[in-house]
Structure 1
């Protein structure tokens, strides 16, 4: 079941044959074959030599693995959005291809199907000299044989198919080997006509499957006697004189249901039955079994069930207690102690104030004597002590003035993980230019050139032609009037295989009964130059939880049904996990799967970018712009 499609593709030319399963669309199979052809042609030794290898381009053999033109067999993963694993074998100039998913647990079944298809091609061409002309001559036989191979075939039936490849009747190719394996093992004798033997065997199977048998009456009677013998003997009737005698059903039917009962004239002991009064007036039971006759007595609950139930209200900063059923008043006062004030209570302002006493101030003129009356305020110092404090340190720090145009890069990383596999990834970057303010520029235009490095992984790039022009070889020229806000002058996107991942995520979900357990595992990228800080993990819950247990502590937003973990620091080389457990109303046996989605938000700022792209001046040592700190942040970073 691992092989989804089988195909025959010549080294040069259109596809010869494609055989797919019923549920696998042929369009997706054709896309996989086209991607295999492009991969084979792009990584051919001739194409790589013609195009010329650059120093910054990666090695093609390291990206693909085996070279399809140099190896007679192998496997390769193709495709960008939809990825497929293609197992190939080269027979002369014909590629025999098997298409399957890249995450298949058993890839050897697809390899086995490709090997059996190679045997069919060799038998149809009468040798290993396979050409498209020879395949077209035996196209119906090859088509029917590959259809049987795709659905699974044994060694005995494959041998029968190969022996019938050059016969005159195609029906013998399909129906002659239905019971071939049974005949090889000696289960049935060989017959002269394979088709007649096959049809007779099928007719016999259908006849026996529709026959019904009835058990004889003697067998049914013997079964009833055996069942009666296994039952326990009936209990003998009790002759207890204290037990009141039941009236005959005939008498009950003849009497009027609204007539007065005869028990009115009987003494009091007869009315209450087996109960008698003691001296203290308490009723005693002489025969408990007689008193409880005809009543269903339920078993008593275990002793643990009689204890008060404790429901813990676990806070995210500590344990706040709970409420016990059966002891509500005492537990309520303990659980909500300190919250009965007007503004919540439970806080003491003295905890946040330093209790150290300040020394009393010396009498003076309100502190004016601390300032010197010198004409230069920059040299004003304190009159007490030997240390001198400039007056500028007492003022608000000023922002550093711009000395020239500034450039920086903002990148956004998007990724989607399905369990532990990366399904989609993308990185978008924007280069911003901040010119001098119009007041400081005095009407002059900003004009300079810069250079981009490490751009081999860029898939697509666009620039704002009104202010940026390309000089080729990675150099660009900027000319724009001064503006107050930053100007986005260029945007780019990276290829998925060159996109670095700051975090790898894995979402594990388990729904057993009415209990849902979710765990998020994360591991930082050890190649990052700086560790991630202030990372927020968000888990979207399917329902609003009533009882929730999380590890470590988190914040729950019931309005949006989100659970947030804030991790202040994610050091390199250390993995972590976040767990949550809650009961849900939906049972796992009902079939509906609950949808749980995890998201991550993070941002970092530094001297380098996440993609490795850097800004450089055109001439070494002559910088016409200032490079400020770059920033990268998460966009749609999901784990499903």
Structure 2
């Protein structure tokens, strides 16, 4: 065998792990590891000797211990070859024999490299330390045990994928059919089962016999005889016709049809008994009689309503009668039925315009303004909201900030932003959108995730977009900020006082003066501990008794102004709430704003100045879980 043992040996300290084969004694492996340690320390102190003077250690290569990987031969009587790789401050060692004829050194080197992949995956990087290995000691032990016995690259990849997400049993037992699953092949058990079923099916079909009863065969013969009767013999006339047909005829000879007399319908001849035959054939058939002559006359149907008789319609002259009954029947607008025309002798004058829609823009009643009355109606196009058409792809940033205050201290804060791309609609003919853009203000980023199928990073904050056209905005980038670099748009403080049976709550808030725009339409929601019977608030608020919530709506919070205050007081039964700490009052804040600047300071720019590959629209900022308790 190529590799007899695997070990993890730190530069300073005892060995972390030793994994040997069943037939290789661990004591011999410890002798080889001790010899490697002594050789390494000797080279580190500079007191080593050449291989001619000292026979306890022989080096392979030019000073291998000075590099990150190599091999060294240790031992006097029992000599072993130790292949090593240095990862951070830990040596990964593979022990094998010195005899080059019976082993493959390169296979042992491959096993050592696989062991390096295991410990790097267990420590989530090349920063391999004994402390990190101790946390995943069981997974590393089982993985090195499997690697020592030989493992393919496909199974090794499956083991590394399950090291942090699945249990050890999943790592060990699920790898039996891993290669078959990845390559798309079935296991032998499935193939064997399918082959057995196939053979059984073939045998059953080969042994099957189908016999028809004699009644069915006799019925089939009768049907065949009726369809194609068999001629028992040919008459003399038929034999002569066949002989004549077999004789060669002149292809340019005239047709004999010219000599035949003309007939009315083929060879039809009138029979004397034809009239009697027709009469006999019509016996038993129901013949529909003709309608009377009165049915062909026009029918008049009168139309009556709750105002009187509207006239009538004659179905023989529908168009003229409709025109006489309903004036302007063919007009798209302005004609039709109007019941007010039949109320009195005089017709009510119809208004011009759209029947009141011309006053929607002015917001006044009919006749209040002389200018509106004389306008004659506003065109419908002016009443609709004009929506600007897209000139090209549009991008904007949507940020959501979450914060938690405990009284006046900021406990947690977090901000996540999403970069959205809106392409031209597919109906415009644009199938793909492709351009490059630049993101500035990324110094406070903690993590960035991009949709690799649509966006690729070019480095230095440059990105390239290539995507198909879509009706909806597409999220292409997501980022989060560091907590200490996240700006807080609004600082909130909740103070409560419980004296006797009276509970008083005050909410103080102040805006961040460095915001790009003041906050508008801010809602403060106070969660009450009980359903209040008597409630006093300042300023006015809305109470939702089912949810036990009290809401204040603030139109605008100035950037540089005095702190705002919201107060509420209510009586609480002392029997229910005796201790002040048991009363929990939570305030949540909801706000949103739009503008050309983002809260985090992130901005989007074209890749090159002067290009307009895309257009930046207003960015959005909204609050998530913004609470104070």
TM-score, scaled relative to structure 1: 0.39
Structure number with larger C-alpha Rg: 2
TM-score, scaled relative to structure 2: 0.40
